[in-house]
């Protein structure tokens, strides 16, 4: 995993790895392992918290020294204000200067409110993450439509607002080699970063001739991560198996002795 991340950083524009306390449900111990690998690879760490007002998650992100904090499902100006309020309550000014805060745009509702929300975010937050999968599904479209014209046009609308207000734009959601034409189009307006499930690239990487290899490297890292996670929890599940068997046999033997007596 470490070698894949180092290769991604050196050759393919990888800048960070990502975890989620939200949909992915990352546990503290596995997040700490990801954090350790990222630091060894000289990469930043992004964390999607559980909601706009997830104070415990924000406190944890500050304790871990996370570089990017993303709040999901922020659909209205009010929800955005709650995220800003929670961020200001948990991070002092010095910590905020070393951390970027972004909100997820992942539904039609958020897109309709974007002009107001982007102006409200200016000066308080650093940018927007356009989540293509949830946005596509929120439009009543199948997941396979993620790279179609309508979804790309929505991303371009967000890119223009981000450009006008000088907010960072990150695009994610089922990013594959098939997403490259859309990402390049978005990049022409504004694209600071794009991300797979676990790996974040600099926006400039989409223009590199070897970007497809970079995306493959990100997928290989995710696969290695999932296998490591499976093996780690598998060992925990089995570590007491021998003692469980011994106790069950002892109890069964005692039952037989009582019956015999």
Domains and CATH numbers, the chain: 2-260 (3.20.20.60)
Q: For residues 5 and 137, what is the distance between their CA atoms, to the nearest angstrom?
A: 31
Per the DSSP assignment, residues forming a β-bridge with 47 are 19, 69
DSSP secondary structure string for all residues of 15-69: EEEEEESSSS---HHHHHHHHHHHHHTT-EEEEE-SSTT-HHHHHHHHHHT-SEE
Q: What angle do CA 143, 148, 151 make, to 5 degrees?
A: 80
Residues 6+ apart with CB under 8 A from 223: none
- C-alpha distances in Å from residue 22, one per residue of 51, 57, 71, 77, 157: 7, 10, 9, 21, 26
Q: For residues 168 and 100, what is the distance between their CA atoms, to the nearest angstrom?
A: 10
Per the DSSP assignment, residues forming a β-bridge with 256 are none
Q: For residues 161 and 203, what is the distance between their CA atoms, to the nearest angstrom?
A: 17
Q: CA nearest 154: which of 135, 169, 180, 167? A: 135
Q: What is the pTM of this model?
A: 0.90
Q: Mind listing the pLDDT tens digit of every residue in the chain (261 residues)?
A: 999 999 999 999 999 999 999 777 788 888 999 999 999 999 999 999 999 999 999 999 999 999 999 999 999 999 999 999 999 999 999 999 999 999 999 999 999 999 999 999 999 999 999 999 999 999 999 988 999 999 999 999 999 999 999 999 999 988 988 999 999 999 999 999 999 999 999 999 999 999 999 999 999 999 999 998 888 888 887 888 888 888 888 888 776 666 665
């Amino acid at each position: 995993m470490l070698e894949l991340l180092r290769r991604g950083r050196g050759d393919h524009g990888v800048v960070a790895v990502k975890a989620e306390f939200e949909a992915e449900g990352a546990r503290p111990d596995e997040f700490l392992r990801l954090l350790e690998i990222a630091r060894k690879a000289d990469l930043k760490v992004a964390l999607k918290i559980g909601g706009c007002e997830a104070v415990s998650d924000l406190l944890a992100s500050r304790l871990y020294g996370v570089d990017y904090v993303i709040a999901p499902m922020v659909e209205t100006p009010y929800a955005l204000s709650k995220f800003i309020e929670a961020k200001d309550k948990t991070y002092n000014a010095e910590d905020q200067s070393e951390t970027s805060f972004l909100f997820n745009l992942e539904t039609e509702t958020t897109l309709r409110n974007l002009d107001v929300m982007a102006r409200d975010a200016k000066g308080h937050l650093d940018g927007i993450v356009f989540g293509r999968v949830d946005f596509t599904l929120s439009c009543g479209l199948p997941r396979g439509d993620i790279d179609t014209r309508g979804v790309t046009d929505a991303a371009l609308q967000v890119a223009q607002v981000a450009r006008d207000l000088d907010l960072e734009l990150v695009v994610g959601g089922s990013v594959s080699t098939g997403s490259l034409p859309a990402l390049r189009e978005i990049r022409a307006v504004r694209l600071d970063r794009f991300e797979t499930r676990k790996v974040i690239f600099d926006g400039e990487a989409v223009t590199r001739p070897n970007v497809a290899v970079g995306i493959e490297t990100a997928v290989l890292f995710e696969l290695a991560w999932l296998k490591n996670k499976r093996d780690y929890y598998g060992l925990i599940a089995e570590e007491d198996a021998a003692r469980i068997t011994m106790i069950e046999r002892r109890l069964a033997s005692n039952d037989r002795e009582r019956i015999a007596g």
